[in-house]
Amino acid sequence: MEFNDDKKNELQKKEEIITQAIDHLFQSSAFGNLLNGFQNLINSSLKDVQTTIQLRERDTGLYVDITIPSTFRDGDIVVDIKSRYLHVTLQEKQQQQYEATLTTMTRTVQLPYEVRQEDMETSWNEQTMTLFFPKNKHE
């Protein structure tokens, strides 16, 4: 029995050494710095195309503020509600001489309670689209 325990301990020590070496490779080496720099580049370039969704509950109903990226110029905004989930999809087609590019971004949030899509009211303020769902009169 002791022989198996010794082998097991030895394997665990080797596994820890390998894990530490991999962590060192990805965190403090030049390779790790390259990966971190690449991630920062991606994050900064996506900052201008991010869509945020904020929920505000009031006595009159539920407000959903959707910030549309300034880079989104001419496309479709699709709002779909399934149960307590709100799905917002931005679709933009860019046509160049002989090719077209379709860009799609979807965000989904869980709502605090069920709402009816047919009761939804929409308004705009600069880059923010606000959806309003009145409280159900039967609640």
* Cα–Cα distance, 139 to 129 (Å, whole number): 27
> 56 with 90, same domain?
yes
pLDDT above 80: residue 125: yes
Give the rounded distance of the alpha carbon of 58 from its chain centre. Answer: 25
What is the chain's length? 139
pLDDT above 50: residue 68: yes
* Cα–Cα distance, 118 to 127 (Å, whole number): 24
Q: Which of 46, 64, 79 is the last residue of a domain?
A: 46
State pLDDT tens for residues 73-111.
778 888 999 888 999 988 887 777 888 777 788 888 999
Question: Residue 55 domain-assigned?
Answer: yes
State pLDDT tens for residues 38-47.
666 655 544 5
> 37 with 88, same domain?
no
Question: Residue 14 domain-assigned?
Answer: yes
The number of distinct structural domains making up the chain is 2
- CATH (domain of 55): 2.60.40.790
Question: Residue 139 domain-assigned?
Answer: no
Domain enclosing residue 31, as ranges:
2-46
Between 84 and 29, whose confidence is greater? 84
> 56 with 27, same domain?
no
